[in-house]
Amino acid sequence: MENVILTIHLILALLLIGVVLLQRSEGGGLGLGGGGGGGVMSGRQAANALSKLTWIFAAAFIATSLGLTIIAAREAATGSVIDQIGAGAPASDTAVELPPAPAIELPPPAATDAPAAPPAAD
């Protein structure tokens, strides 16, 4: 069910983007406009239709967003993620004791390991 709503949500997002880009902006944009009177729909009728379509797509997009949120909330576990991994339990129950690291004794640095002296200034 979640995948179906998610698919519809993505299609609505693409349709909403397309309808918004088709609308005429104040500067002309990608609008369908055009001067003259010919054609099936006038410029004003097309703007009204695109405006209504934008509202319909936006309302459906918000509805699918809310639906996805509700579905995700129902499927979520009652506890938090920290409760699921067991971080809230006492340390003695969940801690794994590691053996102590072996002591490594290093020899002192040799005289040749010292950094070189800076060159003398002229």
Closest among 26, 1, 16 to 59, alpha carbons compared: 16
CB atoms within 10 A of CB 56: 14
pLDDT digits (tens, 9 = 90+) for 4-43: 999 999 999 999 999 999 887 655 545 555 554 445 556 6
CB 31 within 8 A of CB 23: yes
Q: What are phi and psi of 37, to 5 degrees?
A: -90, -15
What is the value of pTM for the model shown?
A: 0.51
pLDDT digits (tens, 9 = 90+) for 45-97: 767 888 899 999 999 999 999 999 998 888 775 666 676 676 555 555 556 77
Query: Which is it for the CA torsion 8, 14, 16, 18, positive or negative?
Result: negative
Is pLDDT at 100 greater than 90 in this prediction?
Answer: no
